[in-house]
Structure 1
Amino acid sequence: MADLYRLVYYSRNRVADGPEALDTAISSILEASRRNNARDNVTGALMFNSGCFAQVLEGRREAIEDVFERIQQDERHGDVSLLAFEPASRRAFANWSMGFVGASVHETMRYSGTAEASGFDPSRMTGDALFETLVRLAIEEEKA
């Protein structure tokens, strides 16, 4: 697919009202993402970990740019940092309009603890490393 692009970014969580508000915000993000991405033929995966969102988006360049613009304007995301935006030879998340690693706040807290113990910090990762991490976790999530 000649016009397939992949974008990888992370942002800081700006939802400050505790676990219930975070769960509601993540659910809202996923609901809107799945609806909009299915319409625009965008695929990808989202992870919340250690106070950060990390996401991979795949699709037509224009569609990815539109999604990323909305993310940058979303008050739930702070310090949005683009790690990679480049042509891709194939989709890594072809079956997911927007997959989520961590199905609940309980799961995000589990991944958050793992992050702290392992030193996981998306701000210190390359786009390729973050992409590979999300692919690996998405495969594990599908097997669970």
Structure 2
Amino acid sequence: MTVQRLFYSSRIADEHASRGAAIAREIAQASAVRNSASELTGTLAYIDGHFIQVLEGNLKQVEETFERICCDFRHRELKLLDYHTAPSRLFSEWAMASLVEEDATIGQREALSEVRVLATLNAREAIARMRQLLALQDRAVLTA
């Protein structure tokens, strides 16, 4: 079964910047609930005032969700970085995972900074790194 995978970045609107990490967590939590009902999966990263998000699912749901994001005034300078049909989901375990720089260890923060730079250079590699970070984050939670 193929899925649509959409990858975008945006900058948080200036008037929301002081609450950026909290807003990212709120968006991820609300999205997880909504996405479960829509059979969407993915992750939202918040790095240095920027959102970087992957959405996976059927065409209609991905497009409707992205349209809603485009109309969300918390986002500025929204850029579609990659959109393609994929043979399977990379984020099947997460209706909407989150990677928030403020919550990360020093090593994870460095990796997230690399993801932010990589997002504009090689979107698919950035997506793969986000997936690796989530796997490491889940392992750390299980062993804690």
Provide the TM-score with structure 2 as the length reference.
0.82
The number of aligned residues is 140
5+ long unaligned stretches in structure 1: none
Letter in 2 for 1:65: E
Within the candidate set 121, 135, 139, 2:135 is matched to: 139
Letter in 2 for 1:77: H
Change (3 A) 1:33 1:116: closer
Letter in 1 for 2:64: D
Distance 1:60 1:123 in 2: 23
Q: Cα RMSD over matched residues? A: 2.7
Distance 2:112 2:40 in 1: 31
Secondary structure of 1:56's counterpart equals: strand
- 1:36 offset after TM fit, Å? 1.0
Within the candidate set 101, 110, 128, 2:124 is matched to: 128
- 1:42 offset after TM fit, Å? 0.1
Identity, in percent, stands at 27
Distance 1:108 1:8 in 2: 22
Contact kept, 8 Å, 1:49 with 1:108, in 2: the verdict is no
Match of 1:43 in 2: 41
Q: Which runs of 4+ in 1 moved over 6 A?
A: none
Secondary structure of 1:121's counterpart equals: helix
CA distances 1:12-40 after superposition (whole Å, capped 9, x unpaired) = 12254565x22431232112201110010
5+ long unaligned stretches in structure 2: none
Match of 2:28 in 1: 30
Provide the TM-score with structure 1 as the length reference.
0.82
User: Residues 1-144 of structure 1: matches in 2 within 5 Å?
Assistant: 1-2=1-2, 4-14=3-13, 16=15, 19=18, 21-102=19-100, 106-107=102-103, 110=106, 114=110, 120-121=116-117, 124-144=120-140
Change (3 A) 1:30 1:113: closer
Distance 1:48 1:99 in 2: 11
- 1:56 offset after TM fit, Å? 0.7
